[in-house]
Amino acid sequence: MSTDNRPIGVFDSGVGGLTAVSELRRILPNEDIVYLGDTARVPYGTKSRETILRYAEQDYDFLKNLDVKFTIAACGTVSSVMVGENAFAPDFCTGVIQPTVEAACNASKNKKIGVIATSASIRSGCYERLIKQISPETDVYSKSCPMFVPLVENGYTYRGCEAAAAFAREYLIPLKSEGIDTLILGCTHYPLLSQTIRDVVGNDVSLISSGAEAARYAKKLLGESGLLNRKSEAGILKLYCTDSAELFRESAAHFIDLEGIEIEKCSLR
């Protein structure tokens, strides 16, 4: 049985992509993982398409130089602009949109799906187009949530946070009023606000985490391609960021247990 001990690469604009890393470590505990958070330039969702593509190419090249065997663009914004723009990622690479949409279409019973994401992702219309391709009869209700990423990056994720709750109500009540039964969390930062989001939409709405779905999709592709690491010991996680490692550690601690995990500041070109 074939094995490949090279690491899996994951990148995002900040710490949000660690939701994908957390799921990867759960379902593929033997895999080494290298994560890049471009914290010096977060958020991506307010940038132009050209700028986002340039940043994504630099992120991807950084990980390829570390000899990763597979790359997850664990950023909804990058994934939305990568559609049809994969020239810089010719090797094994996936975004979060395809697996997330497939999971949402499978979960929805009443064919009413809500999508929350960054402004750039919503502007692209990629979620709506793909949902309609998979399930033409489904109604899609989209809302950009520009304040969610800054809230998460600064640790305002605890249930009962008045600022987070106020923005959640503003963003989500219109979607809830449309009768959605499934909500795509189209940015990997958003699962950290799941409790606040659920307080608004209720327990009957399925929340689909883009980071977790991308991780499951990666496991499937790696298995089909014979690229799984079949070593017996636990995998190693290495974290890189483009701004302060100390600040990154503070934010990342909300996502994963950082005991024994190295964080290194790096530069992108």
| DSSP string over 112-125 | EEEEEE-HHHHHHT
Boundary of a domain, candidates 170, 190, 210: 210
First to last CA, the chain: 38
186 and 100 Cβ atoms separated by less than 8 Å: yes
Q: Where are the alpha helices (DSSP H) in the chain?
A: 18-27, 49-64, 76-82, 97-107, 119-124, 126-134, 148-153, 162-177, 194-201, 210-224, 245-252
For residue 266, how far is the Cα from the chain centroid? 21
Residues 178 and 194 grouped into a single domain: yes
The pLDDT value given to residue 91: 64
Residues 103 and 87 grouped into a single domain: no
The pLDDT value given to residue 85: 47
Residues 90 and 219 grouped into a single domain: yes
Residue type, 258: L
Residues 147 and 62 grouped into a single domain: no
Domain that holds residue 233: 8-95+212-265
Adjacent-strand bridge partners of 117: 144
Phi, psi for residue 29 in degrees, rounded to 5? -65, -15
247 and 239 Cβ atoms separated by less than 8 Å: no
- pLDDT values of the chain reduced to their tens digit, one per residue, 269 residues: 678 999 999 999 999 999 999 999 999 999 999 999 999 999 998 899 899 999 999 999 999 999 999 999 999 889 888 765 454 555 678 889 989 999 999 999 999 999 999 998 899 899 999 999 999 999 999 999 999 999 998 889 989 999 999 999 999 999 999 999 999 999 999 999 999 999 999 999 999 999 999 999 999 999 998 999 988 899 999 999 999 999 999 989 988 999 999 999 999 97
Residues 62 and 37 grouped into a single domain: yes
Q: Is the dihedral of CA 257, 157, 12, 218 positive or negative?
A: positive
3 falls within a domain: no
Structure-token pair, residue 222: 């790696």
73 and 93 Cβ atoms separated by less than 8 Å: yes
Boundary of a domain, candidates 168, 185, 210: 210
**198 CB burial (10 A radius; 0-12, 13-18, 19+):** middle
Which residues are known catalytic residues? 75, 187
Adjacent-strand bridge partners of 93: 71
> What is the pairing mode between strands 112-117 and 182-185?
parallel
Residues 193 and 235 grouped into a single domain: no
Q: How many domains does the chain have?
A: 2
**pTM, whole model, 2 decimals?**
0.88
Residues 219 and 170 grouped into a single domain: no
Q: C-alpha angle 100/105/111, rounded to 5°?
A: 140
189 and 197 Cβ atoms separated by less than 8 Å: no
